Amino acid sequence: MPIYEYHCENCENKFEKIIFRQPDPIECPNCKSQQTRRLISAFALTSEQSVVRTGIDETGPCACGAPQRGMCSN
Q: What is the pLDDT of residues 15-72, one digit of tens each?
A: 998 888 876 789 999 999 999 999 986 665 555 545 454 444 555 666 666 666 666 6
DSSP 33: -
Strand partners, 7: 14, 37
Model confidence pTM above 0.95: no
User: Which residues are CB-neighbours of 32 under 8 A, at least 6 positions away?
Assistant: none
